[in-house]
Each structure stands twice: as structure tokens, then as C-alpha cells.
Amino acid sequence: MPPIRRTRLAVTLGVCGLAAGAALTAHVLVATDADAGITPAKASGAPHCHRIADSAPASLGGFSRRDGSLPGVAVWGDQDIILRCGVTPPGLTGNPCFAVDGVDWVYDEAQSTHGRKVVVTYGRNPATQVVFDSPGQTDAALIDLSRIVAPVRQTSRCLAAR
């Protein structure tokens, strides 16, 4: 093969390799977006939601926080834990209710499954929902999250005053 053809072949292969690498990088970045498939809550733009999402801990329940672009949303691990601030506050409910460091949480039985636990703050507007899709340190995680949710004024309780 003449030297000019070899050079053209090498350049062509190099350009194809760069294009394939760029396409693969773009695919990986899109496929691993922290908040892919998550819908922000209706009131996610509320000032409290910005504060809650911005002050969410770097690690939670044994998972590292991943940066995303949605307002009022924080994600840990591979969506093992998802926080969504600005959800509709639950009303009176027969679902189990429990308090963690002065914050009332409701266990959302309708959205929870065997391997997925969904809890929502009670008596605070905006309400914050947390989805645990992985067995982990749920109790410890709720202690950390209660600290950042507590500044939202509580207007009602699902448990008797303590």
C-alpha cells in the first residue's frame, strides 16, 4: 500500500476512534445521570426545598450523594435513596406514623413494596418524600434527614405531642 493511502487510513481510523469514544462518553454520561427518570415534585421550587436539597448530606445510609440537576431532589447511590422535596403533604391517614428527632414521618403503604420503603414528612409544607430502594441504614438516614427537614414549620402532628 502506498504511504499516502496508509496515512489516510490511519487518519480515518483515528477520527472514527475519536468519534466512537465521544459517543460512548456521551452515552455513559446520560445513562448515569443521578436523577434520570425522577420527576421533581410540584412545589420543588419552594425556598425550603432548595435549602433541603442543598444541605443534604454527602453520604447517607452508606451511599454517596450524586449530583443531579433537578430542583428539590437529592440522590444517593444508584438511586438507592431519593429525596424529593415539595410533594403534596399527606392528610389524615391510617398509614403508620413515627417520629424521628421531632419530625413526624408517615410510611406510605401504597407506594412501598417488599424491597422499597417510601416515607413522607407529616404536618410540614412543603412535604419531603424519601424513597429507600435498597436495604440499608434507614433509621440512621432518617436521623440525618430529619435534621435538615426540621426547620420547616410543623403545623400538625400525626402523633400525640411528646
Lowest mean pLDDT: which of 26-35, 64-73, 80-89, 121-130? 26-35
* pLDDT tens column, 1-42: 666 655 565 545 444 344 444 443 343 344 458 889 999 999
Virtual CA dihedral for 59, 100, 103, 95, nearest 10 degrees?
A: 110
Q: Is the peptide bond before 126 cis (omega within 30 degrees of 0)?
A: yes
Range of the domain at 71: 47-149
* pLDDT tens column, 88-128: 999 999 999 999 999 999 999 999 998 899 999 999 999 99
| Average confidence (pLDDT) over 68-84 | 96
Cell reading at 129: 418524600
Is residue 5 assigned to a domain?
yes
The helix or strand, by DSSP H or E, that contains position 105, with its residue range, turns out to be strand 103-107
The pLDDT value given to residue 5: 58
The pLDDT value given to residue 12: 53
| Average confidence (pLDDT) over 58-78 | 95
Is residue 36 assigned to a domain?
no
Is residue 105 assigned to a domain?
yes
Cell reading at 16: 472514527
Count CB atoms within 10 A of the CB of residue 65.
Answer: 17
Same-domain status, 58 and 127: yes
Is residue 67 assigned to a domain?
yes
